[in-house]
Amino acid sequence: MENRETKYIFVTGGVTSSLGKGIVAASLGLLLKARGYRVTIQKLDPYINVDPGTLNPYEHGECYVTEDGAETDLDLGHYERFLNHPTTQANNVTTGRIYQSVIEKERRGDYLGKTVQIIPHITNEIKRRIKLLGRNNEYDIIITEIGGTVGDIESLPFIEAVRQLRYDLGKDNSLMIHLTLVPYLAASGELKTKPTQHSVRFLMESGIQADMLVCRTEHEIPKETLSKLAQFCNIRLGSVIECRDAKTIYDVPLMLHKQGFDKIALEGLNLPAEKEPDLKDWEKFLHNHKKPQHEVEIALVGKYVSLQDSYKSITEAFVHAGARIQTKVKVKWIYSGDLTEQNVKEVLGDVDGILVAPGFGDRGLEGKILACKYARENNVPLLGICLGMQMMVIEFARNVLGLKDAESAETNHATPNPVISLMDEQKNVAYKGGTMRLGNWKCDLKEGSKIKEIYKNNTIQERHRHRYEFNNDYYDEFEKAGLVLSGVNPDTSLVETVEYPNHPFYIGVQFHPEYKSTVATPHPLFKAFLEASLNFKNHKK
């Protein structure tokens, strides 16, 4: 497709939070990309944290890491999984980042002594950030999701910036999509439109007229209700789209496409819409996902299991890899703090595979170590990610090397056997935010190793988020005892992967493979893990 001026689509939400703006934005991005357009999606978050890196997973869910090392909102994971295209630092910005940038400019004297205010300085910085992705003409369309709910005090500067930007861009160069809730009252047996009308009215009071309305609902919306919404929200009838609850988020693109969502959006941007999107691969994925031939149960052993969004990329990676091998993955959520010597066999005895999840801090670590020991001794397929790999190393040190006091320096600085130690470059770091080993790093895979067989490459690049590493002072001891240190960073000699060859599948990785799994390209490590788990299930006695 020929180069053309970048156009912008803005997605806002009303009535309540957690309506699925990220899924709607990702679905539209997928449909437009399938029509041949170059698309990316960005998220504007109204909280004052500079990034989500220091947020509690219980409050905010997973922190998603991009290739270039940005700690971002979990919605960016949805964008990458749907579009099969990497995001960057420019795809996510918070109020905190905006204010930090403006204050730094003020301190440098960039504003020439002027009084720094929300308008124009904050709004100008927001506009600059929105347009950052479009400056090199790399994309035809940029979709911008605005976090929070219309009417929130935190969102007001973003809404005003979008109003100004739409004015600057001119007619046909931007589109406003408003996502709202149409609740069903069981007592009266009817859908209520008033919350949506109020939400759209507040948007209009802010100077923005929505071009399209996406209505989240449990039930089918009658035509007369759609007509009422169109009339009272001042939106063309065909541009009011129903988005009913779906069994899986991956149904949403097809549901929206059937109603002409992507075509209407292109018409609103005055872009050609004749080419139908090629969705055959997506439909095949959905078929395999919904009609699997096999099933495995995987124990996910972690600290934050009470909020499953804390491991969103892992569970979605199971979906992608499972569909590829026509296998349903049933996740058994296990809080690692509940595992003991007495109950570990009872809790893990019926599963087909174990994933020891990433995390931080000392809570629940002994439970993760017990899970690693159980998997190693009973030949249960095990995948350890980040902290999970570190727990595999500690378990092996204690129970195979005989170093009973082996620990991580993260939880015990005084341990005589710190088999996991703080990275050298982290020793003088004073700030918590944005200072870990982040983003893509190279890893050379050892000849003859299982992980090289899985990746089918000599060198790989995966995304990281950690401060602690395998302590190379113990390198030879582990190798002699049979734990193969199968992946090493070529520049730092940091051990990235470990595996136990006397086991059907016992692999730990310091990186986060789940971040690179997409619908189009399931991650080979997850696929191999599920295949090993399925094989283990089929050979159970």
Q: How confident is the model at residue 427 (pLDDT cuts 50, 70, 90)?
A: low
Read off the CATH number of the domain in which 345 is found.
Answer: 3.40.50.880
pLDDT at 424 > cutoff 60: no
**Residues of the binding site:** 17-23, 58, 75, 145, 152-154, 192-197, 228, 244-246, 359, 387-390, 410, 467
Is residue 215 flagged as an active site residue? no
pLDDT in tens, 216-230: 999 999 999 999 999
- pLDDT above 90 covers a percentage of the chain that reads 78
Is 328 in a helix, a strand, or coil?
A: strand
Residues belonging to the binding site for L-glutamine are: 58, 359, 387-390, 410, 467
Tokens of 49: 């944290």
Bind-site residues for Mg(2+) = 75, 145
Angle, helix 524-538 to helix 312-324, in steps of 10 degrees: 70
Q: Indicate the Cα dihedral angle 508, 78, 101, 50, nearest 10°.
A: -50
The span from the CA of 402 to the CA of 523, in Å, is 35
Instruction: Tell whether 197 and 247 lie within a shared domain.
Output: yes
Residue 1 lies inside a defined structural domain of this protein? no
Same domain? For 204 and 311 the reply is no
- What's the rounded Cα separation, in Å, for the pair 372 and 360? 17
Question: Which pLDDT value is given to residue 430?
Answer: 45
Catalytic residue among 63, 372, 386, 443: 386
Please report, in range form, the residues annotated as the binding site for CTP.
17, 152-154, 192-197, 228
- Phi first, then psi: give them for residue 213, nearest 5 degrees: -125, 125
Over 70: is that where the pLDDT of 191 sits?
yes
Q: Between 365 and 435, name the one with better pLDDT.
A: 365
CB-CB neighbours of 106 under 10 Å: 15
113: left (phi over 0), alpha (psi -120 to 50) or beta: left
* Contact indicator for 5, 166 with CB cutoff of 8 Å: no
* One domain for residues 151 and 221: yes
Please report which confidence band the pLDDT of residue 423 belongs to, taking 50, 70 and 90 as the band edges.
low
Per-residue pLDDT band at 311 (split at 50, 70, 90): very high
| In a shared domain, residues 143 and 16 | yes
Binned at pLDDT 50, 70 and 90, residue 426 comes out as: low
Asked if 51 and 193 sit in the same domain, the reply is yes
Question: Does the annotation count 372 as an active-site position?
Answer: no
Per-residue pLDDT reduced to its tens digit, 322-360: 999 999 999 999 999 999 999 999 999 999 999 999 988
Does residue 2 belong to any structural domain of this protein? no
Mean pLDDT rounded to a whole number for the chain: 92
One domain for residues 232 and 342: no
Residue 428 lies in a domain: yes
Instruction: Please report the pLDDT score of residue 409 as a whole number.
Output: 83
Q: Which domain holds residue 531?
A: 292-540
**Number of domains composing the chain:** 2
CA distances 376 to 318, 383, 392, 444, Å, are 22, 11, 9, 25
Average pLDDT value for residue range 116-125: 95
120 preceded by a cis bond (ω within 30 of 0) = yes
Higher pLDDT, 162 or 5: 162
Note whether 298 and 275 are same-domain residues: no
Question: Is 375 found in the same domain as 330?
Answer: yes
Q: Answer with the one of 283, 304, 322 that is the final residue of a domain.
A: 283
CA neighbor of 450 nearest in space, from 386, 502, 392: 502
Catalytic choice (78, 257, 320, 512)? 512
- pLDDT tens digits, residue range 7-59? 999 999 988 888 899 999 999 999 999 999 999 999 999 999 887 777 767 67
Active site residue 386: yes
Q: What is the pLDDT of residue 58?
A: 64
- List the binding residues for ATP: 18-23, 75, 244-246
pLDDT band at 143 (very low <50, low <70, confident <90, very high): very high
Q: Which of 232, 254, 283 is the last residue of a domain?
A: 283
Shared domain for 319 and 343, answered yes or no, is yes
Of 227, 252, 283, the domain-final residue: 283
| Residue 514 scores a pLDDT above 80 | yes
Distances (CA, A) of 92 to 44, 126, 131, 504: 6, 11, 12, 40
155 with 244, same domain: the answer is: yes
Residue 23's CATH number: 3.40.50.300
Q: What is the pTM of this model?
A: 0.93
My answer on whether 252 and 234 are in the same domain is yes
Which class for 416: exposed (0-12), middle (13-18), buried (19 or more C-beta within 10 A)?
Answer: exposed
Contact predicate 381/355, CB 8 Å: no
> Is 344 among the domain residues?
yes
The answer to whether residues 187 and 316 belong to one domain is: no
Query: Quick one: which of 465, 478, 474 has its CA closest to 515?
Result: 465
- The Cα-based distances of 421 to 365, 406, 411, 418 in angstroms read 16, 11, 10, 6
